[in-house]
Homo-oligomer: A and B are copies of this chain.
Amino acid sequence: MDSQEFRDCAKTVIDMLADYYDNIRDRQVVPSVEPGYLIKTAPEDAPEEPEKWENVLKDFNQTVMPGVTHWHSPQFHGYFPHGSSYGNIIGSLLCDGLAVMGFTWRASPACTELEVVTMNWLGKLLGLPQEFLNCSPGPGGGVIQGSASEATLVGLLAAKEKTFRRLLKKDPSIDKDLIKTKFVAYSSDQCNSSVEKAGALGSMKMRLLPSDSNCQLRGETLKKAFAEDKAKGLIPCYVVANLGTTGTCAFDPLYELGPVCKEENVWLHVDAAYAGAASICPEYRYIIKGIEYVDSFDVNVHKWLLVSFDCSAMWVKDSYDLINAFDIQRIYLDDVKSETRVSEAEVTVPDYRHWQMPLGRRFRALKLWTVLKMHGAQGLRKHIRNHITLAEHFLKLVHADQRFVVEPKPTLGLVCFRLKNGDSYTKQLLENLLATKQIFMVACTYRNRYLIRFVICSRLTTEKDVEHSWRIITNEADLLIGPTHINGTLKEKNTHSIISTKHLEPVNNGCEKSQ
């Protein structure tokens, strides 16, 4: 492919993508393919000869696209949003076009410096204290990690090294290996799978403590756990507080957990993967109350801030804690700046390779930069507020239908709901909805009940789209348990086959099945 062919091909792709978003409402959200659809049909070997770009794009449309779940369809309400925007595509294009690596300042100065600049910008927008910013005189700063999973593990490993060094200073005779086996990490039973995984990957016991009836991990619970473990000779080391749990978007109170951690010299990390972004709007900033107690804070910019995966923004109060855990030197990585990372000078240029696990790093700051500039702070706040308003609109629709219960109290862009008939019905409803391929949602549990999670995900979503999603849901509910005003016989074990509404039972508020 020469540069002229590239111009032609890439411009064709640009039009394909613009058309894709212009017409995304015409698409079925969930693809109609069975496992193995592509593995079974694709050629067994890579082509020996180069293929013309026209054929590659044709093949893409004929074989890849039919297996794509459309995350940016307004009827995609699963998980949490995956950020995307035109500005993001531009930034990513520049990043992939330049294709530079930024493991040292020298390897591509702009790569490191633009990351410092944009992480300061974003940290200020979120209302983080000065000490988390690179532009403050202290050793704090922000860095782009690949994922919240990675950030949680980075925090854990840094906490482990820091705790070890502290204990070694107190008692130089301690057994390095043995002492580390006594370290304990904590989070709530509502934490994301990646938090539990960080314990497994980082070789640290991870206790998932019981959350309260609002799915929050409380200070008293943490304090009790610390005391129990200390009594067993274990050493509390790392706590992951969740701002916006994946299940129900619950918030652990940093202002309660913080003082408990402070007292015991325990590292407090915040996994604010989805919800943290809301802190760019002053009216939602209350969610980070207690941030001053925190050692590290992570928000997935690639969730709710219109930037695509991977762009997880992590700030630390003391970057030396990362460097102590991650710095491995080699002559071929010599950098003009490495010895003066944090200096008395006016400007601090970090060696980001010591702030992360891998050596390689892309120019990810470019997409954050283009999005921040093309949307402006105002545009991003508008986006967040719009999603929350749309979730409130959905809430009203659910409330008006007596067959459904909304619980817990909805937060930000998430509304969880269930059928009053009980879990088996709610589960069946979700299965039937997914089988329509017209809408995508996933489940969670709350107080041992099965809930359907409805999240506003696409940046394109309007009130009309929300109403359309709700119509899809109520249509399937009608088929499963009958319209709210119709009597009939309730079928206990349902399948996806269409059920005539005349056979359905009326809704019975008082007879929810126990789980």
Contact = CB atoms under 8 A, between A and B. Distances in A.
A3 B31 contact: no
A109 B373 contact: no
Interface stretch (A11-19, A290-298, A463-471): A11-19
29 contacts: A6-B86, A7-B18, A10-B18, A13-B90, A35-B336, A36-B349, A39-B349, A42-B117, A46-B118, A46-B122, A46-B124, A46-B376, A46-B377, A47-B377, A48-B376, A49-B378, A67-B110, A69-B106, A84-B99, A93-B93, A96-B96, A96-B308, A147-B360, A149-B357, A149-B359, A201-B202, A247-B332, A332-B443, A332-B453
B93 A359 contact: no
Interface stretch (A175-183, A210-218, A473-481, A489-497): A175-183
Interface stretch (A57-65, A396-404, A507-515): A57-65
A251 B418 CA distance: 60
A368 B40 CA distance: 19
A336 B44 CA distance: 25
Interface residues of A, number: 155
A330 B181 contact: no
B444 A86 contact: no
Contacts of A135: 44
One complex includes copies of this chain to the number of 2
A65 to B, nearest CB: 7
B347 A40 contact: yes
A382 to B, nearest CB: 10
A149 to B, nearest CB: 4
Given A46-B118, A96-B308, A196-B328, 8 more contacts: A13-B90, A37-B113, A46-B377, A56-B90, A68-B109, A148-B359, A149-B358, A197-B328
Contact of A246 (B30, B196, B330): B330
Given A35-B349, A150-B358, A325-B200, A11 B11 contact: yes
Nearest to A196: B328
Contacts of A60: 94
In the A-B complex, list the 5 residue pairs whose CB atoms are closest, starting with the nearest.
A67-B110, A36-B347, A177-B181, A46-B121, A149-B358
Interface in A138-158: 146-150, 153, 157
Contacts of A194: 328, 358-359
B332 A79 contact: yes
A25 interface: no
A142 B407 CA distance: 42
A256 interface: no
A508 to B, nearest CB: 26
Interface in A273-332: 302, 308-310, 325-326, 328-332
Contacts of A111: 68
A177 to B, nearest CB: 4
A265 interface: no
Contacts of A121: 45-46
A238 to B, nearest CB: 14
Contacts of A37: 109, 113
